[in-house]
Homo-oligomer: A and B are copies of this chain.
Amino acid sequence: MKRIAIDIDEVMADTAISHLELFNLEHGDNVTLEELQGTTLVNIRPERREEIESYYESEQFFRQLSVIPDSQEVIRELQKHYEIFIATAAMEVPASFRAKYEWLKEHFSFISDNHIVFCGDKSIIHADYLIDDNVKQLNRFQGTGILYSAAHNIFETGYTRVNNWLEVQELLLGERAEVSR
């Protein structure tokens, strides 16, 4: 059975949109999602770098993130045909460990603890596929990388790109369907 590793932030969890909404609300700002395309909030409001980054120091921030549409259903379906591991770069934000774990237990209770990985550099991940929004991680990964579209990566080329979970389903279950014919 082939193995798929899946990132959390921007792939399973709506991290950037939640971040933007909280920032706008708490700082009386009105940066739009359109402005974020191909860039980051820090690039748009460099003078507020400290406030912007402070959200990532907050355990609560990671606990309340919304689930990306269709991710639960598609991952549950993928699990019938692949070994599914969750691989999140949690080491960048030690405050997030517990919150990320509890978030997974709440929203993806069908993933066993044994298949959850908190790491930094994802070259350590031994899997056939990695679905991630971060091209640096995809570049270091030894298997086949799949770029999950996020505002910050829309101008990246050279990767198999998926724009939503239905496209993941088509790519990874469609491919399997062909193989098993």
| B-binding residues in A (CB < 8 A) | 3, 5, 85, 87, 90-92, 94, 97-98, 101, 112-121, 123-127, 142
Contacts and interface: CB of A to CB of B under 8 A. Distances in A.
B120 A91 contact: no
Contact of A124 (B85, B90, B91, B113): B85
Contacts of A127: 124
The 4 tightest CB contacts between A and B, nearest first, are A114-B120, A97-B97, A126-B126, A118-B118
Main DSSP-derived SS at the A contact region? mixed
B112 A120 contact: yes
Given A115-B121, A142-B126, A94 B85 contact: no
A143 to B, nearest CB: 9
A3 B117 CA distance: 18
Contacts of A126: 123-126, 142
